[in-house]
Amino acid sequence: MTNFSRLLVILVLFTSILAGRAAAADVVGTVTNVQNQAQVGGATAVVGTPVRMNDRLNTGAKARLQIAFQDKSELTLGENATVVIDRFVYNPQKSSADVILSTTRGALRFAGGGIEQMRQKNIVVNTPGAALAVRGTHFWAGPMKGKYGVLLLNGNVQVSKR
């Protein structure tokens, strides 16, 4: 084996290791419960499926999907729901967190974990009719009487037009 061939093999192995670490770093949560038909990023969801930023979460009829994030926050989708994980950054060393979810249909429930303890936190849920700036981290959002509504379970939510 020539020196060039050895260098090429080492370079390929190093690149593969870095790519594997980058893919693992993108994981922000894991599927912990699935009832009936649900998808994560276009693939069928099963318990243990990794969830990454920019993944689209979908549920079908009579379905539920539960995600546990890195900080132990939980996101639960009801039936016929669609949510995109636009951003999930949790940094306990800097006492900061940044979460942005976008939903276009169906109901969801978010219950904060370690995010609740962060000094600097930004939690936003974009709905079809408004943007919710969450200042407490336990809420339910979904269709109510033909409109999209929010039920606050703990804390407070500021609602603004999109």
Residue 135, pLDDT score: 65
Give 10-13's long-range contacts (Cβ < 8 A, gap of 24+): none
- CA–CA distance, 125 with 44 (Å, rounded to integer): 24
Domains for the chain: give ranges and CATH numbers.
3-161 (2.60.120)
**Mean pLDDT confidence for 139-158:** 71
Q: What percent of the chain has pLDDT over 70?
A: 74
Q: Give the confidence band of 48 by pLDDT, cuts at 50, 70, 90.
A: very high
**Mean pLDDT confidence for 9-37:** 66
Q: What percent of the chain has pLDDT over 90?
A: 43
99, pLDDT greater than 80: yes
- CA–CA distance, 53 with 39 (Å, rounded to integer): 15
From the number of C-beta atoms within 10 Å of its C-beta (0-12, 13-18, 19+), residue 138 rates as middle
Give the H/E segment covering residue 49: none
Q: From residue 95, how far is each of 7, 92, 117 by CA, in Å?
A: 42, 4, 8
For residue range 58-90, list pLDDT tens digits in order: 999 999 999 999 999 999 999 999 999 999 999
2, pLDDT greater than 90: no
First to last CA, the chain: 62
